[in-house]
Chain A
């Protein structure tokens, strides 16, 4: 992991803990995790960089993932697994057989099913504690309402520009990634 990425991660952890209103040594947070949540998230709660306050902040967070393909699949899986409380999944396409070798949220029985629905079903299996909202549509700026973070995993330059413009206008933090062939950024 590069130093830049380490810095980003530390910033997100500090931000998450801060949003829950529980810096070290302050009064305890008003909410707490259930026994089931403590067990589900135990392997990240045990990390010195993580805390109950950070986990509660994640539970309160809403993230929009644009694209449920090769990049959106692992991104959404890890966000759901980590406990982001509300996930929006945006994709207008249906699952095709050529998707399956790399788009890990879709399986052979899903052929012809809208990707947003297919992805949402798997994410709910992965973590029934969270809410997953599928959008079988192209991205629109209205989807950013109430969203704390948008992750652009789309494969279309027009969408990339549109997501960037909407995120800037709404002042919603945007994380971008892209893959072409065996290269990524």
Chain B
């Protein structure tokens, strides 16, 4: 199944996490969201907030792969 894609490089935290959260709410459990982040604060906060919400998270460079729980 192809991952849904989201680019949050044009916004700052916490909007990065908000946009990621809203995108995940639109997915079915088990679907994947690939979030492109800027290095730094966003790349720390987006995977952390997704993991705290119980999703499975993997980071590849500046791409955060999240499997909706």
Contacts and interface: CB of A to CB of B under 8 A. Distances in A.
Interface string B23-64: 001101100000000000000000001001100000000000
B53 A45 contact: no
Contact of B25 (A38, A39, A46, A53): A53
A107 B29 CA distance: 51
A46 B14 contact: yes
B14 A43 contact: yes
Contacts of B21: 45-46
B11 to A, nearest CB: 9
A87 B49 CA distance: 33
Interface residues of A, number: 15
Contacts of B29: 25
Contacts of B53: 48
B18 interface: yes
A43 B15 CA distance: 9
B1 interface: no
A52 interface: yes
Contacts of A39: 15
A43 B52 CA distance: 17
Contacts of A52: 22, 25-26
A178 interface: no
